């Protein structure tokens, strides 16, 4: 089998190098040297709950852990990558790394209600909001 390597466009090379340079400046370590990647998230809310969706491709639910430290939710996903010694990488466009993300929860988040579900590589975390007690008027008799 012949493998044809596609030439990279100059804009692709520039963008990739710029992204890597910014990552190294902001985090202080090259991407390839880091043990974990920062997982991408979407956060939404409605009247009763917060919904956090975390992209975690290639991770089984047994390898995901959620922990709570004070008001910080820590999301960790461990990948079991098969590294075959007999294979030489010809092109690498994505890295399979462990994922980690820390999120400060809002003050009205009910810590006891946190639930998570992994579906199609997306970890769906639901957090209920604390029930707000509505002011009650008291009638003097």
Q: Residue 13 pLDDT more than 70?
A: no
- Contacts of residue 44, Cβ cutoff 8 Å, sequence gap at least 6: 50, 51
Short-list 50, 38, 47, 48, CA closest to 106: 50
Predicted local distance difference test score (pLDDT) of residue 81: 62
Distances (CA, A) of 95 to 31, 36, 120, 140: 9, 10, 19, 68
The rounded mean pLDDT for the chain is 77
- Contacts of residue 118, Cβ cutoff 8 Å, sequence gap at least 6: 56, 59, 61, 64, 124
Share of the chain above pLDDT 90, in %: 33
Q: Residue 44 pLDDT more than 70?
A: yes
- The fold of 39-81+96-132 is Immunoglobulin-like (2.60.40)
| 68: its two tokens | 């709570």
Least confident of 7-11, 47-51, 95-99: 7-11
pTM: 0.64
What Rg do the C-alpha atoms of the chain give, in angstroms? 22
- Contacts of residue 59, Cβ cutoff 8 Å, sequence gap at least 6: 77, 78, 79, 99, 118, 121
Predicted local distance difference test score (pLDDT) of residue 126: 96
Domain ranges of the chain: 7-35, 39-81+96-132
Average pLDDT score over residue span 25-42: 63
């Amino acid at each position: 089998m012949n493998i044809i390597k596609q030439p990279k466009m100059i804009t692709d090379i520039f963008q990739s190098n710029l992204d890597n340079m910014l990552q190294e400046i902001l985090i202080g370590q090259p991407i390839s040297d880091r043990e974990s990647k920062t997982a991408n998230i979407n956060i939404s809310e409605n009247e009763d709950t917060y919904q956090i969706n975390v992209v975690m491709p290639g991770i089984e639910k047994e390898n995901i852990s959620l922990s709570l430290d004070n008001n910080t939710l820590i999301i960790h996903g461990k990948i079991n990558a098969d590294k075959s010694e007999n294979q030489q990488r010809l092109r690498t466009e994505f890295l399979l790394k462990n994922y980690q993300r820390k999120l400060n929860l809002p003050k009205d988040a009910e810590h006891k209600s946190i639930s998570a579900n992994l579906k199609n590589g997306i970890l769906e975390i639901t957090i209920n909001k604390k029930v707000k007690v509505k002011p009650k008027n008291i009638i003097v008799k």
